[in-house]
Amino acid sequence: MSVRKLKPITPAQRFRVVNGFDAITTDKPEKSLLAPIKRSGGRNSQGKMTMRYRGGGHKRRYRIMDFKRERFDAPAEVMSIQYDPNRTAFIALVQYADGEKRYVIAQNGLQVGQKIVSGKSVAPEIGNAMPLSAIPLGTIISCIELRPTQGAVMARSAGAFAQLMARDGKYATIKLPSGETRMVLADCLATIGAVSNSDHQLMVSGKAGRTRWLGRRPRTRPVAMNPVDHPMGGGEGKSSGGHPRSRKGLPAKGFKTRSKTKASNKYIVERRKK
């Protein structure tokens, strides 16, 4: 992984930092694993805007991902490491012995030609998917299921990883990227290793237009709005707007919005750090 700082030949490139894409081996996606994406621009079925600051952006095609890794004890060879416009992590195209191809999230250090496999009795090596009950304690993991056979939902973004801390009965305790420590059923699958493209956090777009290419429209400061549009709007001149709060009036910056009676509270050992 590496980043490149461009020469300041234009104002936009003065601060721009781009990905070196060292790990990428091809720019041609697998056609059989592509699907169309219909964009809504933040509108619902009635055409009303229900999500602000969305719209535009470059056309994309979805890469059909294998988050479940349910082909147990069947080795698959890594054919290529590819860029995915729909996520921050890189993805790996893998091929099984019978010729079936699938896309999986690429882990840091995954190489072309490497064999990866999922199952209970496989070696805890990078890219292999195993149940938490079979992974050695202290191992760095990613792409974790929250419920058995659900498919990976946690620690999937670029550079993300969790750590298996302990096991007690049918539960395993893992420390998540947010700093939260929680219990997950030991039957849930996780992949060994941290997610690829860990340098993603070092990227600097350099200009507003690059954010527009990603489909994000400019965000308006609540203080600049009118009272009818936001609780922090209105006032004469540059008034600060009082206590920070959301558009619906809920306080922000430290106010806890999580329900005290939420069913999953009993599985959280330690809350995430502020």
pLDDT value, residue 1: 63
Query: Is 3-201's fold the same as 220-274's?
Result: no
* Assigned fold of 3-201: OB fold (Dihydrolipoamide Acetyltransferase, E2P) (2.40.50)
The pTM score is: 0.92
Closest residue by Cα to residue 149 from 105, 187, 96: 187
- Which tokens belong to 141? 């993991």
Question: Is there a contact between 164 and 172 (Cβ–Cβ < 8 Å)?
Answer: yes
pLDDT value, residue 28: 95
CA 195 from centroid of its chain's CA atoms: 9
Q: In tens digits, what is the pLDDT along the chain, a chain of 274 residues?
A: 689 999 999 999 999 999 999 999 999 999 999 999 999 999 999 999 999 999 999 999 999 999 999 999 999 999 999 999 999 999 999 999 999 999 999 999 999 999 999 999 999 999 999 999 999 999 999 999 999 999 999 999 999 999 999 999 999 999 999 999 999 999 999 999 999 999 999 999 999 999 999 999 999 999 999 999 999 999 888 777 789 999 999 999 989 888 999 999 999 999 987 6
- Regarding the domain with residue range 220-274, which homologous superfamily does it belong to in the CATH classification? Ribosomal protein L2, domain 3 (4.10.950.10)
pLDDT value, residue 236: 87
CA distances to 72, 88, 144, 169 from 64, rounded to whole Å, are 19, 15, 18, 35
Q: What are phi and psi of 198, to 5 degrees?
A: -70, -15
Indicate the domain borders of the chain.
3-201, 220-274
pLDDT value, residue 241: 74
